[in-house]
Amino acid sequence: MANVNLDQLVKDKIKALKAYHVENFDCDIKLHANENSYPPPSEILDLFQDTFRTFQLNRYPDPASQRLKDVLSQRLSVSTNQLAIGNGSDELIQILIQVFCDPGDTVVFPDPTFAMYSIIARGMGAKAESFPLDEQWDFAAEPFLEKLEQTQARIVFFSYPNNPTGNCFNRGAIQKVLENFKGITVLDEAYYDFARDTFLDQLETHNNLVILRSLSKIGLAGLRVGYAVAHPAIIEQMDKIRLPYNSNTVSQELAAVLLNRFGPVKQQIDQILEQRDWLIKILSNLPELQIFPSDANFVLFRVHRSSEEVFNQLVEKGILVRDLNSHPRLRNCLRVTVGTHDENAEFVTQIKSILRSKG
């Protein structure tokens, strides 16, 4: 039997990475992944079942995702040749870096932000450069543009609203980047449905702008559906390296069904927004916590004690949130997804109890 030294075969850039970690605790209340805690409405589930009976699962899916593109085209008032469908937005981030970056080229993003920008860039041999956000989790355009010029960046990523801080960046600052940066500007609007603020209208005047969106936050996290909206010339290049059949039949068709019957989902989103405001109001009255404003479906807060301790005590109570303490700018910070009314009420009850205790 051959005993090959596999470690010597692994690329150095891969050895230097750490796998993206997702908490996997056996908790009844899961408020850690920014999913929609409400199941699909019954009328949409009925449509899912009817649609599923028409699937020919012995056949490959439509490689163009044409039906889903047609639905998105109508909803967004864009041409189908401005759309690319991905197996979640992560795949689209990877494709964009493949298209526009050679090994050694630079990708820039604010810090803190969504970890996958850095992980994917470094895994593909690009340099990942971050720009520190200020105390309000925002940035000024001029020093950011200086960073882009200094690093000769090819792509800049903005999570809008930003994950994990929850806020939308100053729109004027992003506008200045759009007007002055000659590389690719990516607005990751995964949480658009909760902020309802978009740069989609800028596509007509900025051919280097890419908008990313996802259906994971509004009810279809299990299907992994993301899409990019951009100038047709960008989509054409993305399609050259997009894997064939990257979006499966179930994801394409059920996503189209949901988007065509969006009313009940919109009602869930409205409930989440009401619950977000309620949650922020209640948590803001607890002196042991520092609450940060949110335009998304989650709330970032800092505890004035060990976040790991609070996290573990919540797990013991059957509640899973996200501990962000490993990030230098997020010491003792936790992120909680806005859940259902009952889930949020239980979270508030337990966090109050934990904070009253001496740990």
pLDDT tens track for 297-313? 999 999 999 999 999 99
| C-alpha dist (Å) from residue 229 to 40, 107, 204 | 25, 20, 11
The position carrying tokens 């609007």 is: 189
Measured distance CA(337)–CA(106) in Å, rounded: 32
- pLDDT, position 161: 98
- pLDDT, position 340: 98
Measured distance CA(96)–CA(150) in Å, rounded: 21
Asked if residue 215 has pLDDT above 60, the reply is yes
Mean pLDDT across the stretch 47-74? Answer: 96
Measured distance CA(111)–CA(132) in Å, rounded: 5
- Report the CATH architecture of 6-40+264-356: Alpha-Beta Complex (3.90)
Q: Of the candidates 96, 66, 62, which has an alpha carbon nearest to the alpha carbon of residue 79?
A: 66
pLDDT band at residue 24 under the 50/70/90 scheme: confident
Measured distance CA(251)–CA(306) in Å, rounded: 40
Question: How many C-beta atoms lie closer than 10 Å to residue 220's C-beta?
Answer: 20
Asked if residue 178 has pLDDT above 90, the reply is yes
pLDDT digits (tens, 9 = 90+) for 90-141: 999 999 999 999 999 999 999 999 999 999 999 999 999 999 999 999 999 9
- pLDDT, position 358: 64
| C-alpha dist (Å) from residue 304 to 289, 291, 324, 330, 345 | 6, 11, 14, 12, 22
Asked if residue 153 has pLDDT above 90, the reply is yes
Measured distance CA(103)–CA(4) in Å, rounded: 28
Please indicate, yes or no, whether the overall pTM of this predicted structure exceeds 0.85: yes
Judge whether 223 and 217 are in contact, CB under 8 Å.
Answer: no
Q: Do domains 6-40+264-356 and 56-260 have the same CATH topology?
A: no
Mean pLDDT across the stretch 313-332? Answer: 97
The position carrying tokens 């990030």 is: 327
Mean pLDDT across the stretch 186-205? Answer: 97
Domain ranges of the chain: 6-40+264-356, 56-260
Judge whether 223 and 255 are in contact, CB under 8 Å.
Answer: yes
- pLDDT, position 8: 86
The position carrying tokens 């200086």 is: 146
Asked if residue 323 has pLDDT above 70, the reply is yes
pLDDT digits (tens, 9 = 90+) for 6-17: 888 998 888 888
SS3 for 207? coil
Measured distance CA(284)–CA(272) in Å, rounded: 18
- pLDDT, position 336: 99
Percent of residues, the chain, with pLDDT higher than 90: 92
- pLDDT, position 359: 53
Percent of residues, the chain, with pLDDT higher than 70: 99
- pLDDT, position 19: 80
Mean pLDDT across the stretch 237-246? Answer: 96
Fold type of domain 56-260: Aspartate Aminotransferase; domain 2 (3.40.640)
pLDDT digits (tens, 9 = 90+) for 127-151: 999 999 999 999 999 999 999 999 9
- pLDDT, position 3: 85
| C-alpha dist (Å) from residue 97 to 69, 108, 145, 153, 283 | 23, 11, 20, 12, 39
- pLDDT, position 176: 98
pLDDT band at residue 26 under the 50/70/90 scheme: confident
**Backbone angles phi and psi of 258, in degrees to 5:** -60, -45
- pLDDT, position 322: 97
SS3 for 209? strand
CB-side neighbour CA atoms (13 Å) of 78? 23
Task: Write out the DSSP string of 130-198.
Answer: EEE--TTS---HHHHHHHHHHHTEEEEEEESS-TTT-PPPPHHHHHHHHHH--SEEEEE-TTHHHH---
What does pLDDT average to over the chain? 96
Asked if residue 21 has pLDDT above 90, the reply is no
